[in-house]
Amino acid sequence: MLIELKGINKTYDNGQPLHVLKGIDLSIERGEFVSIMGASGSGKSTLLNILGILDNYDTGEYWLDGKLIKDLSEKMAADYRNRMIGFVFQSFNLISFKTAVENVELPLYYQGVPRKKRHELAMEYLEKLGLTDWASHFPNEMSGGQKQRVAIARALITRPQIILADEPTGALDSKTSVEVMQLLKRLNQEEGITIIVVTHESGVANETDKIIHIKDGIIGEIEENKSHTAWDSSIIK
């Protein structure tokens, strides 16, 4: 079991307490391609942030690859994020003053990998994603799809256990959305990387093998979706 959540509770306290996650129990196996689906305010992003060790939780237990992720120091959390988790964000979150290849290199910088090695590896991953020609371009010179592929390359470069994608197609047009989802699917199938996608679009969720519905802070239905027929139309309508 790669990910195991037991009774996770999370309350935000901004003036008045807001109980966002009300006892989440969830298991995800290594190599799964899962989506977490829910309306806005359902707590899906909070769940993803907890999975990504970007945020902490109040009660419960979170086991990641056999390690209990609880009350970690910032340094430890940073180290786990760096080595085990790759992030893909809706707004790409590339550093604007760094070129594509420099952005992809950055996680390795924090691992202490030498510059030359870093650069070689980053170029390798950019090539894999068909971005060799864009390596020395800045994010604002690229299209949304290209930026998201740079972000995916950055997420992959540390060979993480999991990729967490928070609305990865949210800022993309439908054609590019399909391409990005196909890319994630290929990574899952060919490289065996566990991928968790958070989305509110059923078309996107339909591309994954398992759909976890979350509503008002609790897990609802969990659909097996190996045949990709949970939704009767593709995301391209």
Q: By CB under 8 A, what part of segment 36-65 binds another protein?
A: 49, 52, 54-55
CB of 49 to another protein, least distance (A): 5
- CA separation, residue 141 to residues 13, 127, 145, 153 (Å): 40, 18, 12, 17
CB of 223 to another protein, least distance (A): 28
Q: By CB under 8 A, what part of segment 77-106 binds another protein?
A: 78-79, 81-83, 87, 89, 93-95, 97-98, 102, 106
CB of 226 to another protein, least distance (A): 31
CB of 124 to another protein, least distance (A): 18
Torsion of CA 205, 206, 207, 208, to 10 degrees: 60
Judge whether 91 and 148 are in contact, CB under 8 Å.
Answer: no
For position 27 contacting another protein by CB under 8 A, the verdict is no
Identify which of 180, 203, 184, 204 has the alpha carbon closest to the alpha carbon of residue 195: 184
CB of 10 to another protein, least distance (A): 12
For position 115 contacting another protein by CB under 8 A, the verdict is yes
User: Which neighbouring-strand residues pair with 6?
Assistant: 61
> Applying CB under 8 A, what is the total number of residues that bind another protein?
29
Helix (H, G, I), strand (E, B) or coil at 203: helix
The span from the CA of 7 to the CA of 40, in Å, is: 22
Question: 29 vs 141, which CB is nearer to another protein?
Answer: 141
Identify which of 171, 124, 110 has the alpha carbon closest to the alpha carbon of residue 135: 124
The span from the CA of 28 to the CA of 17, in Å, is: 29
Q: Which of 38, 43, 107, 203 binds another protein (CB under 8 A)?
A: 107
Which residues contribute to the site for another protein (CB under 8 A)? 49, 52, 54-55, 74-75, 78-79, 81-83, 87, 89, 93-95, 97-98, 102, 106-107, 109-112, 114-115, 154, 158
